[in-house]
A and B are shown apart, each in its own frame.
Chain A
Amino acid sequence: MAAAEHSGGIGPRLSRRLLIAVALTFLGLFLALPLLVVFVQALSKGIGSYLLAISDPMAWAAIKLTLTVAAIAVPCNLVFGVAAAWAIAKFEFRGKSTLITLIDLPFAVSPVIAGLVFILLFGSHGWFGGLLRAHHIRVVFAVPGIVLATVFVTFPFIARELIPVMQAQGKDDEETALSLGANGWQTFWRVTLPNIRWGLLYGVLLCNARAMGEFGAVSVVSGHVRGQTNTMPLHVEILYNEYNYTAAFAVASLLALLALLTLAGKSFLEWRQPELRRAQPVRDRTRRQIT
């Protein structure tokens, strides 16, 4: 043991410590410290003014709008993500690689551009602007536009999470269920969904965090109408621009709290997931090594 350490020399041990130190310093400076500042600033004038800032009707409207948008966007992407991942993982068809590339598009495009696209499409001078005006439907600078932009931006999270999970699991389970007489629906609910539930939950969590926190795309299409089309991130910006720091950080602290909860949930799932996902293959592998 001592000999091994000695032959390893001081170099590797030193560089290990150095690397850890650098990583921790960076984490502290750029991640932990800002998070701390958010909470310190939010509570700087006491808990009373913190609660007052949060219970402000405009802040409430922003919170409600954010929750509403997430409540629409996440289920949309849930359905889309499961369908897309299913199609990609379990079937061979023409245009499959194009579909995979398209799913990644929202990650590649800047959110501001995504917002602008919706203005171009649905704005009063946009492609469908006339049609929408004729039917008295408002998309841009209204809730539908915010939902559309959010759906677009958070589109890849669930599909991306599920595709590798479903690809790894293959089609055997589904084909077995069908051969045992199950119909498509029974196969999905009783076999496929239980197999992907942890990956799905993980994707939903990330998708939700992004849906609530999205700024760029939403900012372009929202129109910043206070109490009507202001989501939480937009509200934080407005408060900040009005030099209302305490209120701004109070609302921001709620978003930060959401982030922390998401992280906690994520690490819980990561702790659960490998248990469930690897339980079978690991045993198989050990058996093979023995034989």
Chain B
Amino acid sequence: MSIALRGVAKQFGEFAAVKNIDLDVPTGALIALLGPSGCGKTTLLRIIAGLEIPDEGQVLFDGRDATLWPIRDRNVGFVFQHYALFRHMSVAENIAFGLKVKRRRERPPAAEIRKKVSSLLELVQLDWAGERYPAQLSGGQRQRVALARALAVAPDVLLLDEPFGALDSQVRHELRRWLRRLHDELHFTSIFVTHDQQEAIELADTIVVLNRGRIEQCGVPSEVYDVPTSAFVHRFLGQVNELPVRFRDGRAFLGPIDISAAADVRTGSADNIALIRPHEIEIGSETLGWPATVVAVRVIGPIVRLELCAEGQPASERLEAEISRERYAGERFKVGQKVGLRFRRWQLYPAGATAG
């Protein structure tokens, strides 16, 4: 089922949670709503689910106006961060719930429900746990039960509200891959909410970045990461270094480096900042570009992070650079060592639009 939002807005008292949102989710897509807390992503998800009614705008399901449809008529599966399993029911009873509450003439016979439940238990790899109670399962297992329960009623859309937020990182990673496989096999439309950019990049086909109730950018993960359209998106997806652009004699500089040749410098306007990702900083011998001192070295798995104090910069404003483990094995940068910097890539934004 395809979902479309047209000019959706929702206010809670004085607080405008979402403002004038337009969004198209094609059938079978896996979309991430990404943003910091309070950006309106959960409200948007709840509006799609029918748990909130928007003050303005329309929600369209396959082109039909579903804005006022009650949740039970929307055929959506909703998965909460804290699983919301019915704790007085066994795992099997939890999964069967959606089938048992169907109207009499739509309700499948008991034997069929049992069969459906056991096939779902197998799907979520919990066939041994049917008679257990939620309290006897781990967090990752509970979230899988919640997913199976949502899938039992064969929803057209699966909505997940920070589904992996309460799990430790190992389990989170496993569940992400598992959910991606499930999505590819079963072809339902999925929308999930997250504040974790890593999760959004790993899992989604399309990322919708939200900020203060508005959509900042919408695109495939690599596009949103590599070509952010605003400083907010640039900062929110991954680490960044921020440097002011200085102008002297009609030329633009980052530190001592002349960047006037770059096409996107709006020469003369004195309020530009450059955002540079750690892996976009090139480190070489002292004669290369901008002299700097290594102040910290940390090996993080496959990468090595260097903190650098560039000449002429205040000591508190360190630059963060990342190099590969292989490169580090060859060159062994040490704390206190003098090096030179160059920037492979940067992106300029008006400094006024720094609010995030």
Contacts and interface: CB of A to CB of B under 8 A. Distances in A.
B87 A179 contact: no
A270 interface: no
Interface in A178-210: 178-183, 186, 190-191, 194-195
A284 interface: yes
Contact of B166 (A182, A190, A284): A284
Contact of B84 (A172, A194, A276): A172
Interface stretch (B122-130, B131-139, B198-206, B241-249): B131-139
Nearest to A183: B72
B88 A178 contact: no
A173 B72 contact: no
Contacts of B50: 179
B161 to A, nearest CB: 9
A175 B87 contact: no
B76 A279 contact: no
B71 interface: yes
Interface string B76-97: 1110101010111000000001
6 contacts: A172-B84, A175-B71, A175-B78, A176-B80, A181-B72, A279-B135
Interface string B28-63: 000000000000000000000111000000000000
Given A190-B86, A190-B97, 19 more contacts: A172-B82, A173-B84, A175-B71, A176-B78, A177-B86, A179-B51, A179-B76, A180-B77, A180-B97, A180-B149, A181-B72, A181-B153, A182-B72, A191-B86, A276-B87, A280-B135, A287-B138, A290-B168, A291-B168
Interface string A254-291: 00000000000000000000001001100110010011
Given A173-B86, A180-B149, A183-B72, A287 B139 contact: yes
A181 B49 CA distance: 12
A284 B76 contact: no
A182 B98 CA distance: 7
Interface string B221-236: 0000000000000000
Interface string B284-303: 00000000000000000000
B345 interface: no
B77 A179 contact: yes
Interface of A: 172-173, 175-183, 186, 190-191, 194-195, 276, 279-280, 283-284, 287, 290-291
Given A178-B72, A284-B166, A186 B101 contact: yes
Nearest to A181: B72
Contact of A179 (B49, B82, B102): B49
A181 B102 contact: yes
B150 A180 contact: yes
B98 A181 contact: yes
B135 A283 contact: yes
A245 to B, nearest CB: 50
Contacts, number: 74
Given A280-B87, A291-B168, A175 B51 contact: yes
A212 B51 CA distance: 43
B98 A180 contact: yes
Contacts of B146: 176
A94 to B, nearest CB: 11
Interface in B106-160: 134-135, 138-139, 146, 149-150, 152-153
Nearest to A280: B135
A190 B101 CA distance: 10
- Nearest 10 A-B pairs (CB), nearest first? A180-B98, A172-B84, A279-B135, A291-B168, A182-B101, A179-B78, A194-B88, A176-B84, A178-B71, A172-B80
Contacts of A183: 72, 101
A280 B139 contact: no
Contacts of A279: 87, 135
B84 A175 contact: yes
B101 to A, nearest CB: 4
A283 B85 CA distance: 14
B142 to A, nearest CB: 9
A182 B102 CA distance: 7
B135 A180 contact: no
Contacts of B72: 178-183
B234 to A, nearest CB: 30
